[in-house]
A and B are shown apart, each in its own frame.
Chain A
């Protein structure tokens, strides 16, 4: 199999891969940092409310201890939520550490679905995932794999209307795994066509393939076929 870094147009392909990877990294880190910002804003308001209540006692207002306890619990809950988002951000950042590594595909699918959830919410669509129950060791490029999955989800976004549904399912194949993103058919725009071509390129880099098939009225399935193992970065 020829690699992306060889043959005619290799330099252009490699530049495209780098640009798209950087763009994807930017979108995801921006999204996660927005989530963190929201949590910080909530904690800030809750601690501000505690200050307000304490300031009120100086003016003779009685302190409602039950209320203070509730606010304190809400702060703790949001701190935990913030920790989880930071953990996801950290995992995502480290997924780009090595071009190929051993990892659990189930964990990766869980992570990418949670990350994409906010993007879906902002679009006003729901994202549901049927994840495997057992761990699935795989040797591949986790960063590119997330990029491919989110790319399929973004294609579905392009044709989506409010309250549409996107589902992500997983299946085992002899040679590896199949990830299917089913949702609204993409809008056919130049950007979507370009994304489709890019995804095909990305899947080639992952040693796999992508196919699209209609799944009903205005709905399509994008299937990513991934090998169980790639021994080295394809490029």
Chain B
């Protein structure tokens, strides 16, 4: 498989930048944005295989962002990131087409595994 194209979306700047760095050490180059609006902008101009999307972001419903992304790019696979206790929203997301969800704090190897599974499914 070609290099996986990944977009990380989370309002926690420190979390997303560290995650990006750790993925890079594993040979996965990811773009990272902090808002749902920025994610939509990126999706309009870039092709991604996998989007890792935080469900709870300031001023925006993560599931709404997911719906808009899927409308723009129906083939992109979305992995939702959720806080403990917010799994219900992620389950709704899965029913609406998300590939899977992970509860924060996530295990990097688990995330990479899911991303590879998701990218495999999208190609």
Contacts and interface: CB of A to CB of B under 8 A. Distances in A.
Query: Do the two chains bind?
Result: yes
Nearest to B104: A41
A59 to B, nearest CB: 11
A44 B25 contact: no
Contacts of B15: 38, 41-42, 45
A83 B87 CA distance: 26
A52 B20 CA distance: 13
Nearest to B58: A121
A48 B22 contact: yes
Contacts of A122: 56, 58-59
Interface core residue of B18, B21, B86, B104 (most chain A CB under 10 Å) = B18
Contact of A52 (B25, B83, B84): B25
Number of chain A interface residues as a range: 20 to 34
A38 B22 contact: no
A56 interface: yes
Interface string B84-123: 1110000000000000000011101000000000000000
B2 interface: no
Contact of A33 (B25, B85, B105, B108): B85
A191 interface: no
Given A49-B21, A124-B60, A30 B85 contact: yes
Interface in A44-79: 44-46, 48-49, 52, 56, 74, 78
Interface string B2-30: 00000000001011001101100100000
A186 B77 CA distance: 39
A27 to B, nearest CB: 12
A213 interface: no
B38 to A, nearest CB: 14
A34 B25 CA distance: 28
Contact of B18 (A33, A45, A162): A45
A42 to B, nearest CB: 5
A184 to B, nearest CB: 14
A112 interface: no
Interface string B61-96: 000000000000000000000011110000000000
Interface of A: 30, 33-34, 37-38, 40-42, 44-46, 48-49, 52, 56, 74, 78, 121-125, 162-163
